[in-house]
Structure 1
Amino acid sequence: MNQYPMAESIKANTHDVENMPVVLENYNVFNNDPGLKEGVIREGGDWALERLQTFGEICGSKEAILAGTQANQNKPVLQTHDRYGRRVDEVEFHPAYHQLMSSSLANGIGGLPWAEPKAGAHVARAASFYMQSQVEAGHLCPVCMTYASVPTLKKQANIAEHWLPKVMSSDYDPRNVSYQDKQSLTIGMAMTEKQGGSDVRRNSTRAYPIGQRGPGMEYELVGHKFFVSAPMCDAFLVLAQAEGGISCFLVPRWRPDGSKNPLQVIRLKDKMGNVSNASSETELRGAFGWLIGEEGRGIANILEMVACTRFDCVSGSAGQMRAHMYQIVHHTSQREAFGNRLDKQPLMQNVLADLALESEAATAMAMRLGRGMDESGMNEEADLFTRISTAVCKYWICKRTPGHAYEAMETIGGSAVMENSIMPRFYREAPINSIWEGSGNVQCLDVLRAMSREPGSLEAFMGELEKSRGNDKRFDTHLNKLAKEFGNLDDIEYRARHVVEQMALGLQGSLLIQTGNSNIADAFCAGRLEGNSGNTYGMLPKGIDVESLIDRCRIAS
């Protein structure tokens, strides 16, 4: 006789899964992002629309999303020695990491603007970086540095001649072999030391000439680097103290004679985010390298690389915001609570629209900065604008991303905290770009440095904002207040964060006005320039067309 008749009668079925969204996958990241598409066209990258649409399909595919998950679930593993005790300093990655690296380089994120130098090339590449950041950000560290190394490598003609064709290649070769035996190369960077951090003038690594001193000559480096990103790159741009002062060197993983260069990886960093990317501490025990440029010009020479990596921080963080929007609008459009769909409830609409507005402003900013990169060297005013705007944008967009990620998680609720959701990875990734490549304070001080050392920088920046004067009284008021901030410079370093924030909001307002979308511009001027600056989301004033803002984040295909 059955002792459990109730269980038998209901077959132990306790519930059906309902009122839960399906997993978001197999959508086109580019086609469903009107702000990105409009920005690419507006800033000169319209020739790349077809290739961006193709890449957008890849970035939204189930396969790419799975690769991003797997690359982070399986951390890189350092092997310092082989089984017989020989030093190898090799990092092993999950195959998904290599899959992502191959995809990024094949789609031009490593070298498109240099390999195909034409109007809009940096804009098109930034759009690709923006989309791939939504898939997985860690592997983009070596991709970013490879792209960013080109301006610095060009400073040394004999090095550039042999290295740049391989650095700009769209192929990916992960083999641990000499740079001479490969047709594609990746470049890393090693600046930071324990005692200095951002203050690289305190670096203690020493460089000794092997023979003759001078640009392009051979040196040996001895010292310790606290952060060497992507130690499996084929070479690294390294700062070290030479007789003439802080200097920049290209240090390969293999010496020209085919022997292993003594860059000895001590350990990999155990990071809270950016997990797929191997960041390391490394000892240089007489490591071979070539001097790039003159001795004593190392900081100036490598800062051209840093300008490009900061640009990628902007594009990447803007892309992450868009990824948050896809997730939360997808979720709230399929979830009901208290008798109505979440995305139709007024308070939730205020939050969603406010987060969407933040994303729209960040995307417009990233694309405009891309045009600035494209215009580099064309005229002095464009150079000055890009120089100061890179620091302004890097400070603001990267600073805004962690709060955006948190609010997006809260919008979804408890399931967003679960590690089988994509949101915890987005959350852990969100602060990285704000901290790396110069923290918030460094960016603010860089803005002040540009103002004082490069006459015309502030004027070029304000000139960009002036293009939108007369279109919205709230923007005009903000512009007038911003101009007054520079009237008294006595304590400007103390209030630098406030000043740079107001500069960033002014630039975003100007750009959104220039897009011609009156609803977005009106919402920004009302919600950021006149009302709450956005410290808490869901504070948009009445009269905003919130549904149209939300609709721009819906998946249509």
Structure 2
Amino acid sequence: MSDLQTSIDQRTYSDNIPHPRAPLAQNFFKADPNLDYLLQRYLPASMHEWARQQLSWLGAQVAGPIDERADYTDREGKPRLRKYNRLGEDISEIITNEGYKETVAEVYGAGIVSYLYQDIPELGRKAPYSYSFFMGYLVSQSEPGFYCPVTLSMSAAYLIDRYGSEEQKEQYLTGLTSRDRTRLYEGATWLTERQGGSDVGANLTVAEPVAGRQGVYRLTGEKFFASNAGAFVATVLARIDEEKPGTKGLGLFLVPWIKPDNERNHIQVRRLKDKLGVNAVPSAEILLNGAEGYLIGEPENGFKYMAEALNLSRICNAIASIGIMRRAFYEARYYAEQRRAFGNPIDQYPMVKEMLVSLLLDTEVSTGAVFDMIAVYDRLQSNSASKEDNALARLLIPLLKYRTGEEAVESTHTAIEIHGGNGYIEEYVTPRLLRDAQVLTVWEGTSNILALDILRVMQKESSHEEFSRLLQERVAGWKHAFSQPYTELIRTELAILEENIAYLMQQTHDYVTYKLKTLADHMVDLYILSCIVSEAEDQVTREGNARKYILAKLYAEKHFPSQEKRGIQADSMLDVQFFTQLMEYQSVSVEEWAQQSAIVPTR
């Protein structure tokens, strides 16, 4: 055997190419200092210690067994349809694998839905939505496909709790909010039909009242993209008044798979969809053949109710996006640390450092902005919000759903590029992340639909005025010298934004819609910048740590760039200079940042 052959044979797989299943972290919560920071920022102080313990347990689960089950489900254990029983009767049973069922039991058992409605035993209080969304952020790093059923169960519970009768709450809300796997009901929301898609007003499913049974209807029609198709209870839109066009004629109904008399409802699954990604969630074409449904709330308000649940689902969509972004960053960072090329680990090269910091930047600033928006949503749910908060939430939710969905796709693409050819191989998680991310730009409204919703809330509720007021008040409250350049930048950009909005409101509808996404990008850029600067000021004030100001400057350079010399002669290379501090969440002293930014650190 030649010396060369001996040398090759003595190498191990891990000498140069990181193993696709190598543990990049034993615990996704403990590996994420920014998540602990946000926990302190947005949860009540009385919850901090308990939440850390719970999220630490979940962080270990999603980094270990839940991730392993997700990989199996995606590649070998997809849901399947058992259409008929031995007698040839249509039973439309959806079967999921045992590992997936274990994930269902663990995550619901940890209170991801339950604690929104029931007191936490150790604390004697319910959890705010922000806590449930912290859980969802961790779950989505391993199994965003399963977070879809969680989202739908959460939405169904929301609708029944808000608008259902006491009988409906007793019969169905109890199961939807259970932590006991033997009593748990999963939920679904079925909107989409073949002929309309996002145009819900085109829905043709009809609801006919059952004589002598108040509030009971028979639903007939098709739901073309019904996610979590095997859920025990679905909330369904159906046309209750055929004389009222569009969404005005739609009522909202609770449709259980098994009726209260223990008979199967008249629901059939035509087929399961063969999807690009999120294979954990069974998505189906559903036929309602006179299925028994129970009216929720007022008959004329069905779409209004569902629109409220849609806002909740859009927040969940943003949570799934930032979870995938975080996992993409994890994978890229670990791989770049281990992979050697041209004599060095590839994370030693400036181009790779720039890519890794870009992944971190988008993830950290968007995560902070999403939870800042959730703070507004929590006020709405606790009835402590103002009318202005409602208008603001209806603007911020579609803005951040839009931005984070796009970023999730871009982040997974970048992670694959950092891996090179290995990133394209299914043994690595990166292909699944990319496939799963694609749906996040489609679920709960595409970018065009979101832009139209943004326009609608601006026209009807003047939400852009509340947006401007929020940012003006926010920058006026900044005191640290490091924040002052961003005060000037945001005020200047807000003036441009307000001028552009005033101009657009005078133009034709076609021109307005043509420019809507450009306007939305400007708004969300400003909002995210205001969030990261607020975090930076908070952290430097409390801890003397200026690290987040680096992110603020990088974000401003990326989204509000100087055009001088195309940026070639003006770039500061902060991402390379502070690479280790950013990657390792190391503290950056006030003096160090003052020297770099040429700002005197006075207050």
TM-score when scaled to structure 2? 0.84
Instruction: Specify whether residues 137 and 322 from structure 1 end up closer, same or farther in structure 2 by C-alpha distance, changes over 3 A only.
Output: same
Structure 1 vs Structure 2 CA RMSD: 2.5
Tell whether the 8 Å contact from 1:35 to 1:363 is kept in structure 2 after alignment.
no
Q: Note if 1:487 corresponds to 2:502.
A: yes
* Pairing partner for 1:501 from 505, 521, 525: 521
- Contact 2:188–2:229 under 8 Å retained in 1: yes
Partner of 1:79: 82
Equivalent in the alignment of 2:40: 41
Distance 2:8 2:333 in 1: 35
Equivalent-residue separation in structure 1 for 2:495 and 2:534 (angstroms):
18
- AA in 2 matched with 1:367: F
Residues 157 and 187 in structure 2, CA contact (< 8 A), matched pair in contact too: no
Percent identity over the alignment is 26
1:146 matched to which residue of 2?
153
Deviations 1:377-416 (A, max 9, x none): 3222222211210011111111221111111110111111
1:119 positional shift: 8.3
- Report the structure, 1 or 2, having the larger helix content: 2
- Matched residue SS, 1:31: coil
Counterparts of 2:522 and 2:322, CA distance in 1: 19
Question: Could you give the per-residue CA deviations for residues 277-299 of structure 1, whole angstroms, max 9, x where no partner exists?
Answer: 10000110010010111222211
Q: Which runs of 5+ in 2 are unaligned?
A: 477-483, 537-547, 587-603
* Alignment size in residue pairs: 533
- For residue 474 of structure 1, report the CA deviation from its aligned partner: 3.2
Aligned to 2:593: none
Q: Compare relative contact order (CA 8 Å, sep 6+) and give the higher one, 1 or 2.
A: 1
What's the counterpart of residue 172 of structure 1? 181
Aligned pairs for 1:301-450 within 5 A: 301-376=305-380, 377-378=383-384, 379-450=386-457
Task: Provide Cα deviations, 1:134-171, integer angstroms capped at 9, x if missing partner.
Answer: 11111221111111223311212232243222211123
Range with bigger deviation, 300-309 or 262-271 = 300-309
Residues 161 and 546 of structure 1: CA distance in aligned 2, closer, same or farther (over 3 Å):
farther
What's the counterpart of residue 59 of structure 2?
Answer: 56
Shift of 1:463: 2.3
- 1:174-253 alignment runs, 5 A limit: 183-211=183-211, 217-243=215-241, 245-253=249-257
| CA displacement at 1:191 relative to structure 2 | 0.7
Amino acid paired to 2:533: I
Rounded to whole Å, the distance in 1 between the matches of 2:441 and 2:253 is 26
Query: 1:267 matched to which residue of 2?
Result: 271
Deviations 1:12-67 (A, max 9, x none): 93754322235135521112212222122212355222211221122212x22211
In structure 2, relative to structure 1, the CA distance for the partners of 1:506 and 1:116 (3 Å cut) is farther
1:78-117 CA distance string (max 9 Å, x none)? 0111122122110111112112211221222223323249
2:16 to 10, 19, 32: 19
Cα separation, 2, equivalents of 1:10 and 1:543: 43
Q: Is the 8 A contact 1:328 1:412 kept in 2?
A: yes
**Is the CA contact (8 Å cut-off) linking 1:352 and 1:550 kept in structure 2?**
no
Taking structure 1 as the reference length, the TM-score comes to: 0.90
Distance 1:32 1:12, change over 3 A: closer
Amino acid at match of 1:20: I
Tell me by how many angstroms 1:460 deviates: 2.0
Give, in whole Å, the separation in 1 of the partners of 2:515 and 2:531. 25
Q: Matched residues in 1 for 2:583 and 2:135: separation?
A: 18
1:518 aligns with 2:515: no
Is contact 2:83–2:91 with CA below 8 Å preserved after alignment? yes
**Structure 1 residues 551 and 220, CA, compared in 2 at 3 Å: closer, same or farther?**
farther
> How many Å separate the matches in 2 of 1:420 and 1:144?
28
Instruction: Say whether residues 1:88 and 2:91 are aligned partners.
Output: yes
- Closer/same/farther in 2, CA of residues 312 and 549 from structure 1, 3 Å limit: farther
Q: Is the 8 A contact 1:167 1:185 kept in 2?
A: yes
2:145 counterpart SS class: coil
Equivalent residue, structure 1, for 2:492: 477
Q: Deviations over 1:256-302 (max 9, x none)?
A: 21111011000000000011110000110010010111222211011
